[in-house]
Structure 1
């Protein structure tokens, strides 16, 4: 998950001693101090191996200074951290596990190997990436020996023949775990994380209140861009991000309903209140951003039993108002 850091000449004035900025660093600087590329730091954060805090000034996140010190103090931190976030594709992963590309792909489609990232290449093909250390552990586990060398069972072959491919679903599950870890302290963030994996129509069916849906849209997590908007690559990526299997959709809908209900109890979504409207306008109360106290001379005040003040002098019967009224009074 990449991002752009915007710098300003006045930035030095923002990072004053004793502020959060002084006790933390921006992602680009944190990556340099930890010996990682920015994409590797993003993945380390995704996996929960680097703790972050929200950036209240510029948005996004920052890495606390004490977190960098903790990581750097670990034995062999540089190589250990880099190896922990190393990703490989199908060809390199198959070589790492000493199996053919075809067998590696079958294991991934069956959901036995879980991708951690993906991208759409220039040929509009999805390229799945896996953690190298997870593949090594899978290959070293004796319980998986028959999967690596034996014949695929008829049941599994039948599922593959029917088009089974659990890579997108497994990626979504892993990605949702990351989003929920990042949103641990905010109920609307958690609800929006679940909603981000559902089609808009599914979200509308579950969350019928328009103000709650607006809140979800506001907190919707930003996803990595895959090509320009509406491009074939972007549309393909959107299909991967959106739940497809009915049982997965049902599970997410149930989680979304529970998450929104919890968010409502803890922090209800803001909604307009009724303004008090002057009676001379002849209109009904209209929605506004904030509520105002009921005052005499308003429709709402009258409905609460408040006496309305009499007409202003310019509006008394027999006397014209406005410019003609002033001329009339001056000449009279």
Structure 2
């Protein structure tokens, strides 16, 4: 092998599937580790998504308790297992989640298209060990909270969106349009259009729009349900997201204006090229009305006939 070949270990990186195997994680565990910031990723220089550097793999492997400690940080549980960790009934656990006391970290849709919320086991253990939480884990639910639950309060989707937005902002790596797109991804398209009225800016914003959180086919019932979960539906939540989007777009516009067609050097709108005259096909048979002879149309025919005679006379 030629001595001119230089290997740069620090430049090596892995696609998510390979990185998950390197870290001895299931793909779902790996994705959650990335969401939580446990595994740091870098942009793919070829534009193919996020990757994990070899140095990051090595760093995690040298941590104490690897790989069990890493798996424990991304361990998730559903309602029943979460209730067992808090030593409460599943019904009380659900009430705590609806009140926003415990916050889901992810979700999936089961075969009945019902939303199944998942929670970080480590967070629940810490909550159970906190002495201030004793009143929420036992006894009667305070009347004010009980009234909110009876009125239909459910903060699970909203709290998950807040967590998810934090992940998207981390993945933006400080890019102003990517940050704006992260905020826009939680708003209805009509809301986005009201804030970002310039069509070129909206088009540029959509280039950085995060991928959907579901693997369902676009337009499928599963994808539509996931989209509803992704979209803010509380008036105050919509309000602060709109304000954040306006601020983010303003900053992006200042730092990196959205591309748009180059203006005409003269400052005038370009004049379109004149269209070729439309050729009207000749009828196969003369119309039943008297024909109108256009001298302007006959003149070229006469000219062509005269030219032909002259050429025959002067070979």
TM-score by length of 2: 0.81
1:96 matched to 2:85? The reply is yes
1:52 matched to 2:37? The reply is no
Residue-by-residue CA offset, 1:245-264 (whole Å, 9 max, x unaligned): 11100100000000001001
Structure 1 runs (4+) deviating above 3 angstroms are: 16-20, 274-277
Distance 1:177 1:25, change over 3 A: same
Residue-by-residue CA offset, 1:212-265 (whole Å, 9 max, x unaligned): 100111110002225332222222111110000111001000000000010011
Contact 1:275–1:286 (CA<8 Å) still a contact in 2? no
**Equivalent residue, structure 1, for 2:179:** 190
Unaligned runs of 5+ in 1: 1-15, 278-282, 288-319
- The whole-number CA distance in structure 2 between the counterparts of 1:94 and 1:43 is 21
Distance 1:58 1:212, change over 3 A: closer
Alignment of 1:197-276 (within 5 A): 197-274=186-263
Distance 1:19 1:66, change over 3 A: closer
Distance 1:65 1:188, change over 3 A: same
Aligned residues: 273
**Equivalent residue, structure 1, for 2:296:** none
Contact 1:119–1:226 (CA<8 Å) still a contact in 2? no
Residue-by-residue CA offset, 1:16-58 (whole Å, 9 max, x unaligned): 94497x5212212211121101111111110011111011225
- The whole-number CA distance in structure 2 between the counterparts of 1:150 and 1:76 is 38
**Equivalent residue, structure 1, for 2:131:** 142
Contact 2:213–2:226 (CA<8 Å) still a contact in 1? no
SS at match of 1:119: strand
- The whole-number CA distance in structure 1 between the counterparts of 2:118 and 2:260 is 43
Residue-by-residue CA offset, 1:182-235 (whole Å, 9 max, x unaligned): 103210000000000000000000111110100111110002225332222222
SS at match of 1:118: strand
- The whole-number CA distance in structure 2 between the counterparts of 1:284 and 1:244 is 43
- The whole-number CA distance in structure 2 between the counterparts of 1:19 and 1:65 is 7
1:128 matched to 2:108? The reply is no
Contact 2:100–2:159 (CA<8 Å) still a contact in 1? yes
Contact 1:120–1:226 (CA<8 Å) still a contact in 2? no
Distance 1:227 1:23, change over 3 A: closer
TM-score by length of 1: 0.77
- The whole-number CA distance in structure 1 between the counterparts of 2:146 and 2:7 is 63
Contact 1:87–1:130 (CA<8 Å) still a contact in 2? yes
- The whole-number CA distance in structure 2 between the counterparts of 1:140 and 1:24 is 39
1:284 to partner: Cα distance:
5.4
Q: 1:166 aligns with which of 152, 155, 174?
A: 155
**Equivalent residue, structure 1, for 2:270:** 285
Distance 1:286 1:205, change over 3 A: farther
- The whole-number CA distance in structure 2 between the counterparts of 1:286 and 1:192 is 36
**Equivalent residue, structure 1, for 2:67:** 78
- The whole-number CA distance in structure 2 between the counterparts of 1:286 and 1:166 is 56
Distance 1:193 1:284, change over 3 A: closer
- The whole-number CA distance in structure 2 between the counterparts of 1:121 and 1:143 is 35
- The whole-number CA distance in structure 1 between the counterparts of 2:9 and 2:68 is 32
Distance 1:263 1:19, change over 3 A: farther
